[in-house]
Amino acid sequence: MKTWITLGLILTAGILILTLWLLPGAFSAKGKPSEFEVKLVRFIRHWAVPSHIRNANNPIPPEPEVLADGLHHFADHCATCHANDGSGKTPMGPNFYPPVPDLRDQTIQEMSDGELFYVIHYGVRFTGMPAWGDGNPEKDTDSWKLVHFIRHLPEITPEEIKKMKTMNPITRAEREEQDALERFLAGEDVQPAVEHHH
């Protein structure tokens, strides 16, 4: 009896010390997951997507208007983290754990249409990738349009990027700066902000 209590105490103390030793930094978003971890999680996630979605073909035909809708939606909702060209090179992108991937990379482009749809509709738990669908995948045409746009990212043109820049969300300060500049250019007596704050 006494031996068991002693053993129990030693075990508890051991777990406590190990936890305290691991704790500092354990919840930090700095650094990157190891290659092995990424491969393993990708494998598990591939099979975690219900097969009827994983194997689904994009039900929306890739018409020019569809691609234009996808481009607009991406510039407005996704580019803050993913960048207009999908590179993930934004102020936030590399600082997530795991970091935002380059959507033009083979790893992403090799995912099935259904898998990409699933990620957009349901998000990715324990990462910075939010869910964009309302839980009703049958009605979610927007996410299927975004899948077409993600397929188009490797061939995106400088003209398209330029167009997207006009669709990116801007802060109130940026909007006020733009309004003041427009009023100034229209001949009104305002002081346009000359400095850029970033």
Summarize as ranges the residues that interact with ligand HEC (CB under 6 A).
77-78, 80-82, 96, 98, 100-101, 103, 108, 116, 119-120, 124, 127-130, 132, 146, 150
Longest Cα–Cα distance of the chain, Å, equals: 91
Which of 54-93 are b and which e, b meaning 16 or more Cβ less than 10 Å from the residue's Cβ? bebebebeeeeebbebbbebbbebbbebbbbbbbbeeeeb
Q: Quick check: 87 and 99 in contact, CB under 8 A?
A: no
Residue 94: asked if its preceding bond is cis (omega within 30°), the reply is no
- Cα(105)–Cα(85) distance, integer angstroms: 12
Label residue 171 left, alpha or beta by phi (over 0 means left) and psi (-120 to 50 means alpha).
Answer: beta
